[in-house]
Chains A and B, each alone.
Chain A
């Protein structure tokens, strides 16, 4: 107790609302400040600048024959590039979008119909589907088949059957020339 205020005097001062305000505003500023201070320690876990710098890959399409697929590495992930045959293009385009789990037309998934470019990672839990190499199981729809939990993709990379929720994702890419693409 201070020696300038007797108990009787201090009891008369009603500063409860002032004290509540000070308490709450101090705590609020403290909480916001702590959150700002914590952010660098969370964000350091996100991809670093050098990781981001390696995020494009160029591919020469010339050696890929019709009906052939290759796998290239982009951002540490496999990317499937398929030179589709006329029949495969026709098959993909003729599917009704209403029948699909994740409705998307074939035209939305390609820039040039003969070249299908997509990330070869199953949208279920991240395995690499089979079917990009000759002789591998291609699933019930002639595209790709993920052996981990049994997802079937068609020749447009769209999910047709199994636990995966989405079509194989199409990365952003651009044609540098007729036979050269840059992914990323």
Chain B
């Protein structure tokens, strides 16, 4: 950065804390960005925006919320009715959760399609998976806070997952609850942790961006930058402007739900105060957890995959198998850089892998659909098949296809691919 043209005050600061050149190198003219990035690359900055919106709206809500089982539900209703703009802030926070997951799932599938997890971006990818896990924990605990029926029973079902752990399971559940059931101590600690976790996410995001900036963004061709002058442009103004445009479009989508369909993603039952003596007939998690919920429920005693992995029921019961499978469905993604053995990153040049990707994408959608249906009849069968396919894709198809498929010829450079597309 040319310090000679700086305002004297900026120059004074820059000499003591080089914050301006730091920004210029990380988000400015000096951050080289592949010039062929398409709109799927907007979601990283969108996620940053949503995180800021969630923290800002969350802190505002915390100023009016009471974390006590006798007052929590009413304090949320008070926010909705009496607090100035409380309805707006709560609807932003509620729908912001869904927006966060929409954006993060697109961001992850983008990475899967264009091979963004491959060397040398493995750690970048793995930090991303940890961010997903932290987001899930935060969202789960946040959903408990309004203390409605779904809050209470969702918390009961999810904390009970840990009782599947042999020997120490029940002690862990008691430790999580701080009592003998989901009760006031549980609500209190969930509020404390729900407030803490977003800042853990901020820390992880800093690491994520740090790792990103070591080797720079992947791009739709998946080939490396060979000539900085020809292949890249400065992040600012080219991509800062494109990201701002994306934010405008995304905010319109977001605000449509906030203003016109604020309860679209929610469950009606959560407007009934929590009652520990009455279980709702149909417990469903929030939509973004449905695929995992389908995997959890797929494991029944007669599920063939369960029979195989538990050696006919000897090793573990179906409940533990379901819990392990649910966690494995996310943790397996950590190993994507090694499950995929291809030398070429982008599925643009791997037609068979691209096909497998879209089937996998569809499989995840079907899992989500099944997770929202009662566990009976044909839904059980479909759920078990799609659960099997989820793991089959990651553990069999990806390693095999990536090692056997002969990719299409790659363009000479990012610049050459851009020029060819312009012809």
Contact = CB atoms under 8 A, between A and B. Distances in A.
Interface string A67-88: 0000101011110000000000
Contacts of A149: 297, 375
Nearest to A184: B180
Given A42-B175, A75-B181, A148 B279 contact: yes
B276 interface: yes
- Point out which of B181, B281, B301, B376 has the most chain A C-beta atoms below 10 A from its C-beta: B181
B160 A76 contact: no
Nearest to A77: B181
In which size bucket is the chain A interface?
A: 20 to 34
A73 B183 CA distance: 13
B338 to A, nearest CB: 31
A76 B181 contact: yes
Interface string B276-319: 11110111000000000000010111000000000000000111
A170 B274 CA distance: 25
Contacts of B279: 127-128, 147-148
B179 A76 contact: yes
Contacts of A45: 175-176, 178, 185, 189
Contacts of A71: 277
B181 A51 contact: no
B174 A46 contact: yes
A172 to B, nearest CB: 13
Contacts of A164: 319
B319 A163 contact: yes
A126 B157 contact: yes
20 contacts: A42-B175, A47-B174, A47-B177, A47-B185, A51-B178, A51-B180, A51-B185, A71-B277, A73-B276, A73-B277, A75-B179, A125-B156, A125-B319, A126-B156, A127-B156, A147-B279, A147-B282, A148-B279, A149-B375, A163-B297
A149 B293 CA distance: 12
A30 interface: no
A72 B338 CA distance: 54
Contact of B160 (A55, A125, A150): A125
A51 B317 CA distance: 32
B204 to A, nearest CB: 22
A150 B376 contact: yes
- Point out which of B180, B283, B322 has the most chain A C-beta atoms below 10 A from its C-beta: B180
Interface in A117-139: 124-128
Contacts of B153: 127
B55 interface: no
Nearest to B296: A125
Interface SS majority for chain A:
loop
Contact of B319 (A46, A55, A124, A127): A124
B301 A163 contact: yes
Given A127-B279, A147-B279, A77 B174 contact: no
Interface string B129-163: 00000000000000000000000010011011100
A98 interface: no
B277 A48 contact: no
A125 B175 contact: no
- Point out which of B174, B278, B375 has the most chain A C-beta atoms below 10 A from its C-beta: B375
The 10 residue pairs across chains A and B that have the minimum distance between CB atoms:
A75-B180, A76-B181, A126-B160, A127-B279, A165-B317, A128-B279, A125-B157, A126-B156, A125-B160, A51-B179
A36 B243 CA distance: 49
- Point out which of B182, B279, B301 has the most chain A C-beta atoms below 10 A from its C-beta: B279
Given A45-B176, A46-B178, A77-B181, A147 B157 contact: no
Contacts of A148: 157, 279, 283
B174 A78 contact: no
A169 to B, nearest CB: 10
B183 A76 contact: yes
A82 B375 CA distance: 29
Contacts of A126: 156-157, 159-160
A104 B264 CA distance: 47
Nearest to B157: A125
A148 B279 CA distance: 9
